[in-house]
Amino acid sequence: MTPPDRLRALLSAPGFIVMPAVWDGLSAKLAAAAGFELLFLSGSCVSASRLGGPDLDLFSFGEIFDSLNMVRGAAPEALVLADGDHGHGNAMNVQRTVRSFGQAGAAAILIEDKITPRALTAAGKPCLPREEARMKIRAAVEAAKESGILVLARTDCRPTQGIDEAVARIEIFVEEGADILLLDSPADEEEIRRAIAAAGDRPSLVVLSPGMPRATPSQGEAAAMGFKIGAYPTALLAPAITGMQAGLQALADGETGSETALDPAELRETLGYPDYDAQARRFIVPD
């Protein structure tokens, strides 16, 4: 089965899907080894890891596409939902983005309705007019037919244009053939119910990160609301930053490493040195 077919089967099975965010080979390898079937190649994590900065549309198509190849190389059996962001341009750019990610083995790709280039501020998420947003999703769905990659259509218009417009966009994204739907920044459970109802029989995704304006639901609460997938953009990134800061502080304090660091043997095991040696023995020339 292809990655998109495997994802369709996963979505049709019972249960809530927990999807951690990854950004490189190591994060993907660890997440897959922990048993997670679906990984989110997150734009915010790619921005943090590559640029050391916030997710404000600064990374390029090439950078996140390279990150996809790293993730796929380190965890080839994992399914990847890739952050296509705004498609890196107009509807024709969207088609190139979707085709490229599909050919590279992503199971699904997120396309959103934000305006690009964004205004020179970190606040707010101005979005395209409704019909332009429709055409981006139409372009994505058309391009997706070549590889079968699923299209996750996201609307960010709730904070700037209101819930009625956001629900209307979800409805037209469904009409255009989007496979998964995402309402960004719902204000309350009533808005969540409206968005999930607008998605009809298509699965809905929820972003579950601490620090949202409203309380972050638990996995059980999200499932009870009707969500099928929960994305966790900071679940690996935040503790990774904490771990690096602890290691740096230990060095500054004259230590050789932090108390929470892996011991050398466990580090080598995690990174796959024994696996490498086992595979390499097949090619050693006898004395």
pLDDT digits (tens, 9 = 90+) for 195-241: 999 999 999 999 998 877 777 899 999 999 999 999 999 999 999 99
Could you tell me the residue ranges of all domains in the chain?
3-234, 241-283
Q: At what angle do helices 25-33 and 61-74 cross, to 10 degrees?
A: 40
Instruction: Using alpha carbons, list the distances in angstroms from residue 33 to 6, 26, 74, 75.
Output: 18, 10, 11, 9
- Please check whether residue 97 is in contact with residue 146, taking contact to mean a CB–CB distance below 8 angstroms: no
Q: 3-234 falls under which CATH superfamily?
A: Phosphoenolpyruvate-binding domains (3.20.20.60)
pLDDT digits (tens, 9 = 90+) for 1-36: 999 999 999 999 999 999 999 999 999 999 999 999
Task: Assign 121 a pLDDT band (cuts: 50, 70, 90).
Answer: confident
pTM exceeding 0.75: yes
Token reading at 279: 């595979």
More confident: 124 or 169 = 169
pLDDT digits (tens, 9 = 90+) for 44-99: 999 999 999 999 989 999 999 999 999 999 999 999 999 999 999 999 999 999 99
Q: What is the mean pLDDT of the chain?
A: 96
Closest CA to 108 of 35, 208, 173, 11: 11
Beta partners for residue 154, in sequence order = 112, 182
State how far the Cα of 248 lies from the Cα of 9, in Å rounded to an integer.
Answer: 44
Q: What is the arithmetic mean of pLDDT over 247-260?
A: 96
- Please check whether residue 195 is in contact with residue 181, taking contact to mean a CB–CB distance below 8 angstroms: yes
At residue 216, the pLDDT reads: 84
pLDDT higher than 90, residue 173: yes
Based on DSSP, count helices (H) and strands (E) in the chain, helices before strands. 13, 8
pLDDT higher than 80, residue 123: no
